[in-house]
Amino acid sequence: MTVITRFAPSPTGYLHVGGARTALYCWLYAQKTQGKFILRIEDTDVERSTPESVQAILDAMEWLDLHYDEGPYYQTKRFDRYREVAEQLLKEGKAYRCYCSKERLENLRTEQTEKKEKPRYDGHCRDLKEPKSDAFVIRFKNPTDGVVEFDDLIRGKLVFSNKELDDLIIARSDGTPTYNFTVVVDDWDMKITHVIRGDDHINNTPRQINILRALHATPPLYAHVSMILGADGKRLSKRHGAVSVMQYREDGFLPEALLNYLVRLGWSYGDQEIFSRAELIKLFDIKGINKAPAAFNLEKLLWLNQHYIKTSDPERVAKELAWHMQRLNIDVTDGPSLVEIVKAQAERAKTLAEMAEKSRYFYGEVHYNEEAFKKHIAADIIPALRAIEEGLEKLSDWSKEAVHQVIADTAEKLDLKMGKVAQPLRVAVTGDIVSPPIDITLVLLGKEKTLARLTTALTML
Ligand code: GLU
C-alpha cells in the first residue's frame, strides 16, 4: 500500500505555525514511506476564503520547501463531484432532504438548551416520503445507535456513541457542500491513507467515518496532533507574538531552523534536538508524536536559528539574507558578497533580520552615529588615523594579514594599544562601534571604501 497524506488548510488567513507543523508531519511521513503528499485547499467557505490567503499558504509552503507531489487541489473546483456523491447518498436512502425552517430549528435549540440537553437535530424530516418544497438542505442519515471507534495513531482507541451525533447537513440550501462532507469525498477520491491533522478535528472524525462507511469506503487512519500553546498555557495565538510562518521569515528565521523547531514541538527522538532533513526523514514516525500539547518557546527557536546560521552552507544563508537586504532597500551590488558577510557575521546575529541591519554599512554611504563619533574620534587620534590611511593606501595586497599589519605597526609606532586605534578606525569606516574584527571589516569594505571613509571622517573632525 502506498502511503498518501494530505495537508488541507482553509485559506482564511496566513499559514500559522500550527498548520506548518501539521504540513511538516504529513510531508515527513510521506517522504519516509516513499509515499505521496497532497496539498488541498479547502476553500468552500467562500465568505472567509481569500486569494491572498491561498497565496500566503503557497508562499509559506515554498519557503519551507515542503513540496507536494500533487495539488494544490481546490475544493471550489469540485462542487460537481460533491453534488454527485450527495445525490448518490440520497438515492440510496443514506441521506435525506430536510425542509425544517430556521424558526423550527431555533425553537428546537432553545427547548433543548432549556432542558440542558446538547442541541442537536431531532430527525424531523428523516422519514419523509414526499418532497415538500424546493427549499431544503441535505442531511446525512447518521446511525442512531451503536458506536464509532477508531484507533488514533497518537491517542489510541477512541470511541464515540452515535447517539451523540445528529444528522449532519452535507449540502446547504444553496446547494453548496459543507466541510465534513467535502473532506470525506476528497479523502476518499484522493485515496488518502493517513489523515494527520490538528486535534480540533477529533469530534469531526466519527461523523466523517460514518459517511465514509455509507459510501462503502475504507476510512483512512487518523492521527490527531495536539495543539501548540503559548508560554501562558493558552492556545497559541497572535497575543503571544508571531504566529504566521511568513512573519518568522520577516523576523529573520531560516526555514530549516523553523522546521527543526516545529518538528520537535510535539515529536521527539530521544533527547536529540538538531536534525537534518535527511535525518528527519529517516527517524520521523507518527508513533513519536506526543499526546500532550507543547508550549512554544521563542528562546529555543532563536538558539536553533543561530545554530543554523552558523552551520548551514553560507551560500544558502546568503540567499535568504539577500531577501532581507532587499527589504531594507540595501543595494548589495555595491559592496562585498553576501556569502562573505554571512561568514563574518554568523557569530554576531541570532536572526538574519539582525544580520541585515548590522551589515548596512558595508554598502553604499556611511552614516555616522553622532554619539559614537564624538566619543571615539577626537583630535588626539588624528595622527593614528592618518598613519593608517597612508599605510593602507600603499597596500597592493588587500588581505586580512596585510591590513592587520598596517594597524599593528601604527599602534606600535605611536605607542598605543591596538584597541585604542581599532575602535576609532571602526567608527571612521563603519559609522558605529560594532562590527566584525577590524581587519576583516576593512577587507570586506574594500580598499576604496575604506580610504574614502577615512578621508570623510578626518575632514569631519
Ligand atoms: N481545512 C481544515 C482546517 O484548516 C483541515 C481539515 C482536515 O485536515 O481534515 O482546519
Q: Domain check: are 66 and 116 in the same one?
A: no
Q: What is the pLDDT of residue 241?
A: 79
Q: Domain check: are 97 and 34 in the same one?
A: no
Q: What is the pLDDT of residue 219?
A: 98
Q: Domain check: are 185 and 265 in the same one?
A: no
Q: Which domain holds residue 436?
A: 367-461
- Which of 278, 302, 326 is the C-terminal boundary of a domain? 302
Atom 6 (ligand 1) nearest CA: 8
How many domains is the chain partitioned into structurally? 4
Q: What is the pLDDT of residue 2?
A: 97
- Residue 183 Cβ inside 6 Å of ligand 1? The answer reads yes
- Residue 177 Cβ inside 6 Å of ligand 1? The answer reads no
And the C-alpha cell for 154? 497518537
- Which of 209, 225, 241 is the C-terminal boundary of a domain? 225
The CATH number for 54's domain is 3.40.50.620
Q: Domain check: are 141 and 195 in the same one?
A: yes
Q: What is the pLDDT of residue 238?
A: 82
- Residue 11 Cβ inside 6 Å of ligand 1? The answer reads no
On whether residue 31 sits in a domain, the answer given is: yes
Q: Domain check: are 415 and 448 in the same one?
A: yes
On whether residue 255 sits in a domain, the answer given is: yes
Atom 7 (ligand 1) nearest CA: 8
- Residue 42 Cβ inside 6 Å of ligand 1? The answer reads yes
3-state secondary structure the chain: CCCEEEECCCCCCCCEHHHHHHHHHHHHHHHHCCCEEEEEECCCCCCCCCHHHHHHHHHHHHHCCCCCCEEEEEHHHHHHHHHHHHHHHHHCCCEEEECCCHHHHHHHHHHHHHCCCCCCCCCCCCCCCCCCCCCCEEEECCCCCCEEEEEECCCEEEEEEHHHCCCCEEECCCCCECHHHHHHHHHHHCCCCEEEEEHHHHHHHHHHHHHHHHCCCCCCEEEEECCEECCCCCECCHHHCCCEHHHHHHCCCCHHHHHHHHHHCCECCCCCCCCCHHHHHHHCCHHHECCCCEECCHHHHHHHHHHHHHHCCHHHHHHHHHHHHHHCCCCCCCCCCHHHHHHHHHHHCCCHHHHHHCCHHHCCCCCCCHHHHHHHCCHHHHHHHHHHHHHHHHCCCCCHHHHHHHHHHHHHHCCCCHHHHHHHHHHHHHCCCCCCCHHHHHHHHCHHHHHHHHHHHHHHC
- Which of 323, 338, 364 is the C-terminal boundary of a domain? 364
Q: List b or e across 369-393, with b for residues whose CB sees 16 or more CB atoms inside 10 angstroms.
A: eeebbeebbeeebeebbebbbebbe
On whether residue 307 sits in a domain, the answer given is: no
Q: Domain check: are 221 and 236 in the same one?
A: no
Active site residue 420: no
49 CA distance to ligand 1 middle (Å): 13
- Of ligand 1's listed atoms, the one at least distance from the Cα of 204 is 9
338 CA distance to ligand 1 middle (Å): 40
Query: Over its length of 461 residues, how does the chain's per-residue pLDDT go in tens digits?
Result: 899 999 999 999 999 999 999 999 999 999 999 999 999 999 999 899 999 999 999 999 999 999 999 999 999 999 999 999 999 999 999 999 999 999 999 999 999 999 999 999 999 999 998 889 999 999 999 999 999 999 999 999 999 999 999 999 999 999 999 999 999 999 999 999 999 999 999 999 999 999 999 999 999 999 999 999 998 989 998 888 778 999 999 999 999 999 999 999 999 999 999 999 999 999 999 999 999 999 999 999 999 999 999 999 999 999 999 999 999 999 999 999 999 999 999 999 999 999 999 999 999 999 999 999 999 999 999 999 999 999 999 999 999 999 999 999 999 999 999 999 999 999 999 999 999 999 999 999 999 999 999 999 999 98
On whether residue 219 sits in a domain, the answer given is: yes
Q: What is the pLDDT of residue 239?
A: 84
Q: Domain check: are 131 and 221 in the same one?
A: yes
On whether residue 197 sits in a domain, the answer given is: yes
This prediction has a pTM of: 0.94
Q: Domain check: are 71 and 104 in the same one?
A: no
Q: What is the pLDDT of residue 446?
A: 97
Q: Domain check: are 211 and 261 in the same one?
A: no
Q: Domain check: are 183 and 320 in the same one?
A: no
- Residue 197 Cβ inside 6 Å of ligand 1? The answer reads yes
- Of ligand 1's listed atoms, the one at least distance from the Cα of 9 is 4
Q: Domain check: are 340 and 260 in the same one?
A: no
- Of ligand 1's listed atoms, the one at least distance from the Cα of 19 is 4
Q: Domain check: are 400 and 349 in the same one?
A: no
- Residue 10 Cβ inside 6 Å of ligand 1? The answer reads yes
On whether residue 47 sits in a domain, the answer given is: yes
- Residue 8 Cβ inside 6 Å of ligand 1? The answer reads yes
416 CA distance to ligand 1 middle (Å): 67
Q: What is the pLDDT of residue 46?
A: 87
On whether residue 308 sits in a domain, the answer given is: no
Burial class (CB in 10 A: 0-12, 13-18, 19+), 108: middle
